[in-house]
A and B are shown apart, each in its own frame.
Chain A
Amino acid sequence: MPDDRIAEWAQGLVKADVHAFKRARTRFLRQPSAKRLHDLRTTARRLRCLHEDLREAIPPFSLLRLRRLIDLTGEARDAAVMREALREALDVRERRSARKLLGALRRRELLVLKYIAQALKHVWPRQP
């Protein structure tokens, strides 16, 4: 077990990251946007990385729901970014063939955004 100074430092980092995550969650739930989704995803991933770095120095807590949330935010982000990248690269002669994929990506993004809102109700209501 690491010494008390490390445990205290680690607790401070976890507290700051949990606070940042909760703030991002509140903002996203209030008014979802691409920027707020990005913030939500980033704060969740930082928290997971912090846990990976300091798992020996902090009290154990489950990351199951946080991981699920990270996966979902990744799916929504990927769908949005792929749509944007496809639009950017699309040759006018191929516009018709791309319509189906663009539509599918948009539907996927909207569906996953709903899942995220649901998942956020269950992820981490209390301080670890």
Chain B
Amino acid sequence: MKARNVDLSDSCGVDDAMRRIAIVRFAEVLTLVPALRHGRSKDLHDLRIACKRLRYALERYTPREPALLEAASRLSQLQDALGDLHDRDLLLLAMPKDLHVSAQRVRMQRDDALSRARALWRDAFAPYGPFEGLMRFTGLGYGFGDGSAS
């Protein structure tokens, strides 16, 4: 999925530019998060890429905005879980048909990774949870902690 362009033409200062970028990247993640519910591989892959973009942006801002550190760390965990899932999807595609038992194990690992990603997402929106600082910084994400991904 192509990254959305960030309009910085009339931004007033570095803090405002940081906020605008974080808003666009967080909005991309929020748009793609229904993938955690339906579990489709392509959409989960796009979500992982969006989490990565947001995380990289936040990691650059933490020296100025330490409150974003926890969100960056949670996004990293989420990215790992979604990465494990993606690796299993690729492996299942490459596996020959006669590896029934092994494929079944890989499918179970995929399901575990998806459950892990769902739990990490849900828990991120808890009061004083990892996304608290990010939600305050961007003004986005309120109402997402109500089980929307489970």
Whole-angstrom distance from the CB of A93 to the nearest CB of chain B? 7
Interchain CA distance A97-B100 in the complex, whole Å: 11
Q: Which 10 A-B pairs have the closest CB atoms?
A: A91-B101, A52-B3, A89-B105, A2-B8, A49-B56, A56-B8, A9-B14, A89-B106, A82-B91, A53-B21
- Rounded to whole angstroms, the CA-CA distance of A105 and B5 in the bound complex is 37
- In the bound assembly, the distance between CA atoms of A88 and B17 in angstroms comes to 45
Chain B residues touching A, majority SS: helix
Partner of B9 from A5, A13, A56, A90 at Cβ < 8 Å:
A56
**B residues within 8 A CB of A6?**
8, 11, 13-14, 17
> Which residue of B17, B21, B52, B99 contacts A98 across the interface (Cβ within 8 Å)?
B99
Contact with A along B85-101 (1 / 0, CB 8 A): 00110110011101111
Q: What would 21 A/B residue contacts be, using CB atoms closer than 8 Å?
A: A2-B11, A6-B13, A13-B60, A49-B57, A52-B53, A54-B8, A56-B5, A82-B87, A82-B90, A85-B87, A85-B91, A85-B106, A85-B109, A86-B95, A89-B102, A89-B105, A91-B102, A93-B101, A97-B96, A98-B95, A101-B94
Q: How far is the CA of A100 from the CA of B94 in the complex (A)?
A: 11
Q: Considering the complex, which residues of chain B in the window 53-74 have a beta carbon less than 8 Å from any beta carbon of chain A?
A: 53, 56-57, 60
Name the one of A2, A13, A50, A85 contacting B88, with C-beta atoms under 8 angstroms: A85
Which listed residue, B7, B52, B60, B101, touches A94 by the CB 8 Å rule? B101
Given contacts A13-B60, A91-B102, A94-B99, contact A86 B14 (CB under 8 A): no
A1 x B9 contact (CB < 8 A):
yes
Q: Which residues of B contact A (CB under 8 A)?
A: 3, 5-9, 11-14, 17, 21, 25, 52-53, 56-57, 60, 87-88, 90-91, 94-96, 98-102, 105-106, 109
Residues in B with CB closer than 8 Å to A50 are 56, 60
Residues of A within 8 A of B12 (CB): 3
Q: Which of B7, B53, B96 contacts A56 (CB 8 A)?
A: B7
Question: Which residues of chain A come closer than 8 Å to B60, judged between CB atoms?
Answer: 13, 50
Let me know if A71 is at the binding interface, CB within 8 A.
no
Interface size on A, residues (CB 8 A): 32
* Chain B residues in 8 Å Cβ range of A78: 87, 90
Within the complex, the shortest CB–CB distance from A81 to chain B, in Å, comes to: 5
Q: How far is the CB of B84 from chain A (nearest CB, A)?
A: 9
Nearest CB in chain A: distance from B116 CB, A:
16
Q: Separation in Å of the A38 CB from the closest CB of chain B?
A: 12
Q: Give the distance to chain B from A96, nearest Cβ to Cβ, in Å.
A: 10
Q: Do residues A53 and B6 form an inter-chain contact, with CB atoms below 8 A?
A: yes
A107 within 8 A of B: no
